[in-house]
A and B are shown apart, each in its own frame.
Chain A
Amino acid sequence: MITTSHYLILSTIILTIGIVGVLTRRNVLIVLMSIELIFNAVNINLVAFSKQLQNTIGQVFVVFVITVAAAEAAVGLGIVIALFRNKEKINLDEIDLLKW
């Protein structure tokens, strides 16, 4: 029998993979993709609790999370394009303008 804790463990695994991707990859685009993985881990949690509590408001919040993810992807990719136009590089360890 699949319980809510199965979904929670799956979501924890995806969140951990996403955090490792954010912290280790060099390419900005792949870091943004890892952030999408983290969003999806949150969504799985929300749907799992909505299923357990028999309350669909959790799924309404998933709609809002997906909206915010779409806005974040649009703005993030706009920043990536502006960065590439100005600096000609998109690797995280080469973008050190604010580092001292």
Chain B
Amino acid sequence: MIEPIMFYVTAGLIVLFSILVITARNAVHCAIYLIAALLSIAALYIYMHAEFIAAIQILTYVGGIMVLFLMVIMLINFNEESRMRKATGQWKAAILVSLTLAGLMLYFFFKGGPVITASVPAAGPVPVSGNTEIVGWGLYVPYVLPFEIASLLLLVAIIGSVLLAKGKADTWD
């Protein structure tokens, strides 16, 4: 009986922090709220018995990507004028696009019928070393070629971001 309460608490935290991300005025506050939202999503992954995904969510998102975001916020100083007005004012387009997309998605979810709305089968006792082992097997045996391509993508991203952020060569002597 405690499990649905845990889901609703976690989901409420995720939605609350997500709304705070797009409404907070200061960019640093946005980043902090996004970290809280990502940690809540990691808690949701643990609730869904995806422990490995929860671990890499915390390691790469919170430990890697968000530190990168905070460092760029630190490097760039915002002037006062940009803090005065936080929205571009395209409220009509935003509401139209988001409500249309959400309506379409919900329509097709529920049109999907009993397959999607069926309750999740009880997983039974979860093995201690199960999840990481199975995900690792999937990563290295049937999907080893996408894995290598992903490493190539990361290499290209590293070189590209260094080239983009480096600036002119003569200013770095």
Which residues in A have some Cβ–Cβ distance to B below 8 Å?
1-10, 12-21, 23-27, 29-30, 32-34, 36-37, 40, 43-44, 47-48, 50-52, 54, 56-57, 59-60, 62-64, 66-75, 77-82, 84-85, 89-93
With A10-B15, A37-B34, A81-B72 already in contact, the answer to whether A56 and B97 are too (CB < 8 A) is no
- C-alpha spacing A27/B105, complex, angstroms: 28
The answer to whether B69 touches A77 (Cβ under 8 A) is yes
Question: A-side binding surface: helix, strand, loop or mixed?
Answer: helix
Which residues in B have some Cβ–Cβ distance to A below 8 Å?
3-4, 7, 11, 14-15, 18-19, 21-22, 27, 30-31, 34, 37-38, 41, 44-45, 48-50, 52-53, 56-57, 60-61, 64-65, 68-69, 72-73, 75-76, 78, 82, 85-91, 93-95, 97-99, 101-102, 105-106, 109-110, 116-121, 123, 131, 134-135, 138-139, 142-143, 146, 150, 153-154, 156-158, 160-165, 167
Question: B-side binding surface: helix, strand, loop or mixed?
Answer: helix
The answer to whether B41 touches A24 (Cβ under 8 A) is no
CB distance from A53 to the nearest CB of B (A): 10
- C-alpha spacing A79/B161, complex, angstroms: 7
The answer to whether B117 touches A3 (Cβ under 8 A) is yes
Tally the A-B contacts, defined by beta carbons under 8 Å. 234
CB distance from A94 to the nearest CB of B (A): 8
Chain B residues near A93 (CB-CB < 8 A): 88
- C-alpha spacing A92/B82, complex, angstroms: 10
